[in-house]
Structure 1
Amino acid sequence: MLRASARAAAAPAPQGPLRLRTEAPAAAPPRDADPEQLREAASARALPHKAARYDKLAQGYGLADDGLVDWDAKDPVSPSTPSPPPTDDELVEYTDEFGRTRTARKSDVPREYARERDEMPEEDNAVYGPATAFPVYRREVPQLDTRIAQRAEAVHFDADWEVRDRGAAFYRFSHDAATREAQQAELQARRAETVAQRSKSTHTTAPVPGARARARRAARQQVIDAHRAAR
């Protein structure tokens, strides 16, 4: 009751019963129209009636105690009024892709420029000097030079990296440079010794060039001589 009396006091005094504005009804579609068109036409005819009833209720006419809308608490806001910007959306400066300094709201700054701005180091009040700042990491120069020299060494053939059968003439050279040179020198000496012994030997298994041809000619000549003697 108190709410009804307060609402009646706040609302303007009604000047008469609730009367809705009458407008020219929309043209009804033909009877053979599509069901979707009939439904749209019915909605269009009901919209002016609903708008007129809403205006009357907003003015305080025809209010009911069991209504679902509290017209006293309803605060009409003009849709054309712009909402104030949030307080945390401050103006910031950024540099675009052409090197120009632009000013815009923080929410309007492109994401790639906002990320660069966030990654910029902040200024601090630290004091740098020989007593407060010193390098923590020091490179060990001799050890580093030794590793570089080891990598620069020549890489020779390593038989352990190949999976295959090896014959009787296979010789494994050492990985040590000095030992490898000594082994190669010994093999060269053995080879020179073998070549010298072969040159001194009179027996050779190599065929003499033209020996087979001469033998064939001699055998043929013997056959010819035998035929001549038989005549």
Structure 2
Amino acid sequence: MASKDAHLYGARPKSRTKAKEISSSSTLAFSSTLSNLIKASSSESSKPAAGRARPQKEDIFKTHNKNVKKRALKDLEDSDFTQKHRGLTTEEKGEDEAAWKRTKRRMEEKARLYDALKRGDVEDIDDKYGVDFDRKWAENQDKGEAASASESESEASEVEELIEYVDEFGRTRKGTRAEVARESRRKNTLAADEPDRFTARPSMPEAIIYGDTVQTNAFNPDETIAQQMADLAAKRDKELTPPPELHFDGRAEARQRGTGFFHFSKDEEERTEQMGRMEREREETERVRRERKELIDKRKEMIREKKRLIQEKRSAGKAERFLDDLGAELFKGSDEVEEKEGDKEEKGAA
């Protein structure tokens, strides 16, 4: 059979590739490699599964503020800290000069006004300026301080004379001429307004103790007790008098009263008369009630008597009817007996 027709008869074709012979060395290498792979796979399967990686929290002692290094480097840099100003223009210089002159003029006016207030040439009646030079002078006198160095030379050289005057509380005071003039004007104003003045200020006390006075009552503590005992003795020795008659007064109570409520007079005679009238009215009312009750009782007695008579008549009528019925029944029975006896006699005769 030709080789080209071998497939028609089911013959296996010859392999074109020649069988490769495996040497013993290659077999050993393959077995060692396979054993290493098996060991590696078994070791990997025995290891636990690794968890999800979590971010590690930074240590507060290792971390630093943001951009702190940049700021530190910037601080180390040499820089010029000198301030730079732009120059003023001619217009701005003129405005500053005008403002300075205006401020200087106002300060000079205030200084002159302050000196005038200290000398007393100008009066601060309405407390407009808010400076009490009298109090300041008194405080300086109490402290023993010398005049301030800021006072003008004219005031330092000028020695004011102190004048005695009486103030509103009756005290003798010493003060400047301005204080005396102010006090006199105040007194004149009060004297002019005194008739139309209304105030709650109490009047000056009259019984005032002046100087050293010995109060003897302070060394006699039993005087109060003695006075109380005297009052008790007076109450004990006075004549016995009955207590005043006190009656009920309905006007002193705030409540709803009935129709028959009556206000009695506080006068004893009128009250007695009212009580008498009330007593007579009560007696009359009781008499009328008694008479009315007697009439009602009589009428009830008459009704009871009529009922009794009617009942008697009714009972008598019933008795008569009963007797009539009974007599009729008796007569009927006797007639029947007589008829029966007559029938018997007739039968016997036949």
TM-score tier (shorter): under 0.3
Higher Cα radius of gyration = 2
The structure whose RCO (Cα within 8 Å, separation 6+) is larger is 1
Structure holding more helix per residue: 2
User: When the two structures are superposed, what TM-score results if normalisation uses the length of structure 2?
Assistant: 0.20
